[in-house]
Amino acid sequence: MDISVIICTYNPDDRIFLRCLKAVQSQQLLSLQVECIIVDNNSIYPIAERSYVKEFLENFPNARCITETKQGLTYSRLCGYRASSAEIIVFFDDDNEPASDYLITLSNAFSANKTIGAIGPGIVKVDYIDGSNSYLEECKGIFQEYGLEEDRFGNDTSGYEAYYPYGTGLSIRREAFELYTNFLEENSKFITDRTGNSLASGGDIQIVWVCVKNGFLAGRLKKLLISHLINGHKANEAYIRKLVFGCAKSYQPARILVFPDEKNKLSHTVESFRLRKIAKQIIKFRNPYRIHKIAELLGSVVGHYEALDRKVPLFYRTLIAYFKLK
């Protein structure tokens, strides 16, 4: 196989997952040998029993559906990786719709530069399939909408770089992902990423950090286009602020696992006054976007304490409960 496509899924919206599978099926090219592995992470209605999935498996050579019983996106990715055989691995979520030239573009990029370890799309378009409004349009960046005018790659490890690829459509060289699996084996407290109803994240960036830490380049290609399909269940204020909180909360613990020497450098102070000020503004004006800002700040604070193995103070736990961030 030239490319292994791994689709991790858990209780997907059938309308969206069908679009994902159709987009993947359109990638079948005579010049590439592609396998597709669907990993069902304990969906209530088993993925393999859905009619459109059966049809996809019948019409896509080298496609199969397997089950991962351990809950969590990271476990699903590992399951798909172990079942795969190609040197280039592409991870799609069940709400991703890649452009028809996605795989051939990736293959060419990896072949042209052997030092590239991870690649993500340079253009991510958010599609609210159940309709949008001005508020949701402001939130597209939270759902990873992104536009790049030129290719950007690097291997800086000092923090989160703008060129780092998201998890949406993330592709990685097998050699680099094997280093990531070794990292997981050495860290029993690794980030499991999204689990059930939890919106905690961190696994995506850990993959990239392990990649660049070992000398590989990571970045985004301007020619790579993918659509991120968002349904009404996610396109609402409550879900969005929980997503922002979960992503921010995961950052510091994820980084400390990859770069343990940085734990001693973390500041032990927290800007509680600033938090109180922002909280009062949000309580007064009830501006949804401001709630996103405090959700991000609260997530960062919680992640900070968790990375230091410290209990989160009552003040912050109270704010988290008030804004219903869990």
- Specify which residues 173 forms β-bridges with: 88
Instruction: For 18-41, write each residue's pLDDT tens digit.
Output: 999 999 999 888 789 999 999 999
| Predicted pLDDT of residue 190 | 59
Average of per-residue pLDDT values in the chain = 90
The pLDDT-based confidence of 301 (bands split at 50, 70, 90) is confident
- Quote the CA–CA distance of 159 and 225 in Å, as a whole number: 25
Tokens describing residue 114: 């052997």
pLDDT category at 315 given cuts 50, 70, 90 is: confident
Residue range(s) of every CATH 3.90.550.10 domain in the chain: 3-233
> Residue 174: which pLDDT band, with cuts at 50, 70 and 90?
very high
**Which fold, 3-233?**
Spore Coat Polysaccharide Biosynthesis Protein SpsA; Chain A (3.90.550)
Strands 63-67 and 146-147: unpaired
Is the full-model pTM beyond 0.85?
Answer: yes
Structure confidence at residue 3 (pLDDT): 96
DSSP 198: B
Which candidate, 296, 305, 258, places its Cα nearest to that of 278? 296
What is the rounded average pLDDT of the residues 72-81? 94
Looking at per-residue pLDDT, the higher value among 220 and 202 belongs to 220
Q: Answer with the residue of higher pLDDT: 219 or 30.
A: 219
295's CB contacts (< 8 A; 6+ apart) are: 241, 242, 244, 245, 248, 323, 325
In tens, the pLDDT along 226-266 reads 999 999 999 999 999 999 999 999 998 999 999 998 887 77
